[in-house]
Amino acid sequence: MRGSLFIVLILALVTLSNCARRTSISGGPKDTLAPALRNAFPKNYSTGFTGNEIKLVFDEYVKLKNINKQLVVSPPMQTPPEISPLTASRQIIIKIQDTLLPNTTYSLNFGNSIEDNNEGNALGDFKYVFSTGPIIDSLQLSGTVKDAYDREPEALTSIVLYEANTFTDSTIYKSAPRYLTNTLENPAAYRFENLKAGKYQIAAIKDVNGNNRYDPYLDKIGFHAETVTIPNDTLYEMELFRERKPFRALKSQQAGGSKILVAYEGFQENPSVTIRDLQKELQTYVTKVQDKDSLHVWHEPTSSDTLTITVRQDVYQKEFRLGIRKQKPDSLSLGLLNGALHLRDFLKIRPSVPIARLENSLITIKDKDSVLVPFTAEIDNYNTTLHFKFEPQPVQRYTMQMLPGAVTDIFGRTTDTLKFTFATRNTSDYGNLRLTLENVKRFPVIIELADEKGKTVLSRNAASSGPVDFQLIDPRQYYLRVIYDDSKNGRWDTGSYSERRQAEEVIYFPRLIDVRANWDVDQVFKLP
């Protein structure tokens, strides 16, 4: 009996201990299912629609995410529909605030904006469709988009369709399209659904301000020149480009003593700028502000407190009147731009003020053995750079000395004695690339090596077949692109929508080219 009671007591204590032990509460498996539409009033794909409100009911609480960016209404409504609530709910209410077109199929594509409230599982590419007529239009049109110059297309491009019988040259600037879709799901592809048979004009717009219209000062555009007939199973490719905006001076302001800043937009090609005080036209020098759409206009000192600035490029002209106050002119200084001198480059020095004169007899360049190096010098005031050209040798260290009077700026000032040191690397620190092009349709072509961000590092022009050499290039991976230079001006030219002209054709090599130090790379590029 005593033994049995002892065993019972031990078992009771163990049971109580297990009951008191802390454990985490399991919530079950994670919800990975997207919400589902349980009902819709009117039903999805209804015909004969006459109301102004749509109710969507889901099987769980949902929330809207980025609805303003993701919702695509086609055809677009002049006043967008009101979507509510913005908080979690089992239903979404759509209030139509525009007059609907008769006998028209409407599509409200929510993209991925509808998510469940707890886990954020998205109801992918959800679409509500209705028709104000007796049938649902069901034709489709698909295609691809790419950037005319860059390797990858930008995200979220709008694709627009206009009815051909009402389309004019100004329609795309002023009117909303008949149908609208975008590249939300795939930046390189688009698809229209629920289209009506007919003839259309098609275009792709990087719609910056989201107004369903083309603004050439903001947007990129791509277009198909011919009329598109639906039904049609052709895949239409469009290449987006930014039009070359016309030059336009925006403002002027004093930027220092005897220095005016002129901000501009558009394509500038060495515009002329003149400045007058109350008595005469002043002597001026125009320099480009680095990495900005601005110019510095330097002028001779004047006692006037009001200046008239006239900016001209081709037939364009604009005049500014500017009040100025007395300030000291910018001081003169010089800085070395490339202390690590590339073997195929020349020495560059940047002055703080435009330079009027160089005295080469007061400038010397010596190598590490103190041997004089012959050179030629050039002044590039527009880019605020002094160029010193000679043949740099591998693994060499150079010293440049400028004596007083060697450099004179536009205000007649000179520097004291200056010394700069710079060096070169060995040829084995670089790589070489020989490129052979096949299937070139026409010449000339431009061959560009670009870094991983797409910025051009080196460029060559080819007027005929034969190998193209890139010698002594920095070891790295490069993108390679070939441009058909149809304008024969040595640069890539963008297109023009108003002239119905496409951008010059650019073709990319399908992969990165790895150039290593002390390596010679032979690469064949077979163009399509």
What are the residue boundaries of the structural domains of the chain, listed by start? 37-131, 139-240, 248-323, 334-425, 429-526
Average pLDDT, whole number, for the chain? 92
Q: Examine the pLDDT at 492 and tell me if it is beyond 70.
A: yes
Q: Tell me: the pLDDT tens digits for 258-300? A: 999 999 999 888 899 999 998 899 999 999 999 899 999 999 9
Q: Examine the pLDDT at 1 and tell me if it is beyond 50.
A: no
The topology under which CATH files domain 139-240 is Immunoglobulin-like (2.60.40)
Its CATH class, for the domain covering 334-425, is: mainly beta
118 CB-side CA count, 13 A: 10
**Residue 91: closest CA among 62, 114, 68, 112:** 62
Q: Examine the pLDDT at 196 and tell me if it is beyond 90.
A: yes
Please state which of the four CATH numbers 3.20.20.70, 2.40.50.140, 2.40.40.20, 2.60.40.1220 is assigned to the domain occupying 37-131.
2.60.40.1220
* Residue 4 pLDDT level (bands cut at 50, 70, 90): low
Q: Examine the pLDDT at 89 and tell me if it is beyond 80.
A: yes
Helix (H) or strand (E) holding 446: strand 445-450
Its CATH class, for the domain covering 248-323, is: mainly beta
Q: Tell me: the pLDDT tens digits for 251-266? A: 999 999 899 999 999 9
Q: Supply 253's token pair.
A: 């302001």
In this prediction the pTM is 0.84
Q: Examine the pLDDT at 373 and tell me if it is beyond 60.
A: yes
Pairing of strands 189-195, 139-147: antiparallel
Domains 248-323 and 334-425 share a fold: yes
**Residue 465: closest CA among 432, 502, 503, 439:** 439
Q: Examine the pLDDT at 368 and tell me if it is beyond 50.
A: yes
The mean pLDDT value for 197-205 works out to 97
Beta-ladder partners of 320: 309
Q: Tell me: the pLDDT tens digits for 418-443? A: 999 999 999 999 999 999 999 999 99
The mean pLDDT value for 120-134 works out to 93
* Residue 329 pLDDT level (bands cut at 50, 70, 90): confident
CATH 2.60.40.10 fits 429-526, yes or no: yes
The mean pLDDT value for 151-178 works out to 94
The mean pLDDT value for 69-79 works out to 92
The lowest-confidence range among 16-30, 77-91, 174-188, 349-363 is 16-30
Give the C-alpha separation, 30 to 53, whole Å: 35
